[in-house]
Amino acid sequence: MSERRKPGEIERASMAIIAQELAERGITLPAETEAVVKRVIHATADFDYAKSMRFTQDAVEQGVAFLRRGGMIVTDTNMACSGISRPTLEKLGGAAVCFMAEPSVAQAAQAQNTTRAAVSMERALAEYPGAALAVGNAPTALLCIAEQIAAGARPALVIGVPVGFVNVVESKKRLLEVCERFDVPAIVSLGRKGGSTVAAAICNALLYTAADALDPKARGWQ
């Protein structure tokens, strides 16, 4: 019979294993980005993220400060939105939304011959111009965000971690280039890997840091 552990004990044990395996691989994470990278590895069991994650200067610091002010997060999928810690968001006075399932978004995407993800990001930047944008699925969303930033938009943070094969690698590189050029904070996973789970994990790492709740006990877990 397997040993029964409480959720907090499991998370702490998992994080200890991650730290040990990173050390065995000779990987030392920068202090600023450590919590984010470890949370992504915790969500995926994939140590490739220790090398593929990219952060613009002070992206984590700025993201944490934004969330401490009760910032809004807009995601490209309902899966990513549902994976974000609501109790921590509410504690900080923030919120998270996703427009993907709204009929008006589908209608606009059809009329414009584009994707719902791209239309969702256009709407996000129009309705919440200073929000944090978290993209875990759609390269078209990243390309839309990059285009809008070049045209003057300034989101508080862009998380760009879509997964797949078509335009994924290129869209991430494009986003990172534009964010660096226009001094917009960004967190990106280079390569094909990513997904809604990764986007949510990054959001949660920032939220837990903002709420001083990286240890699960601070979230009410034993």
State the Cα–Cα distance between residues 221 and 153, nearest whole angstrom.
39
Structure tokens at 72: 């809004």
Q: Tell me the C-alpha to C-alpha distance, in Å, between residue 78 and each of 25, 129, 188.
A: 35, 20, 20
CB 162 within 8 A of CB 145: no
Answer yes or no: 160 catalytic: no
8, 33, 42, 197: the catalytic one is 42
In 75-167, alpha helices (H): 78-83, 86-92, 103-112, 116-127, 139-150
State the Cα–Cα distance between residues 222 and 220, nearest whole angstrom.
7
Spatial CB neighbours of 13, under 8 Å, sequence gap ≥ 6? 5
Q: Tell me the C-alpha to C-alpha distance, in Å, between residue 117 and each of 1, 99, 144, 188.
A: 45, 8, 9, 17
Spatial CB neighbours of 77, under 8 Å, sequence gap ≥ 6? 98, 100, 136, 137, 138, 196, 199
Q: How far apart are the first and last CA of the chain?
A: 22
CB 98 within 8 A of CB 120: yes
Where in the sequence numbering do the catalytic residues fall? 42
